[in-house]
């Protein structure tokens, strides 16, 4: 996860790497855009895709899906962490981090 630094409604909260698109896209297209994904050759395997989550803000509606990825080696993890400003946290630490309601709801339902 990473702290949001941009001056927006989620500033100071922790989130995952995200990709915003104006319209729904298929999983492979999203993975290609987000990670330069090339099946297993990139060291990343898609393990699971969440259901669609809907979240209403005062100025927009968010439709979100979460992807569980498997990184095949430590090098891949380190590269993605550095590229996207991500940090590793234990389940207990993630529970305690301030998060947007959308992410908190997903984690409570799917992980914790």
Domain locations along the chain: 2-110
Q: What is the pLDDT of residue 35?
A: 65
pTM exceeds cut of 0.95: no
Per-residue pLDDT tens digits for 19-51: 888 788 787 777 776 666 444 446 777 888 899
Q: What is the pLDDT of residues 65-94, one digit of tens each?
A: 998 888 887 777 787 788 888 898 999 999
Domain 2-110 has CATH 2.60.40: no
The dihedral built from the CA positions of residue 33, 39, 45 and 47, taken in this order, carries a sign that is positive
Location of structure tokens 């987000």: 34
| Greater pLDDT, 102 or 82 | 102
Cβ partners under 8 Å of residue 67, min gap 6:
27, 30, 31, 46, 48, 49, 50
């Amino acid at each position: 996860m990473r702290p949001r630094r941009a001056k927006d409604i989620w500033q100071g909260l922790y989130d995952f790497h995200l990709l915003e698109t104006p319209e729904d896209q298929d999983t492979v297209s999203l993975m290609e855009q987000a990670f330069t994904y090339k099946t297993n050759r990139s060291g990343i395997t898609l393990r699971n895709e969440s259901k669609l989550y809907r979240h209403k803000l005062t100025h927009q509606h968010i439709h979100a899906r979460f992807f569980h990825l498997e990184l095949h080696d430590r090098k891949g993890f380190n590269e993605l962490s550095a590229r996207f400003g991500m940090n590793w946290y234990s389940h207990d630490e993630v529970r305690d981090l301030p998060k947007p309601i959308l992410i908190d709801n997903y984690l409570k339902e799917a992980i914790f």
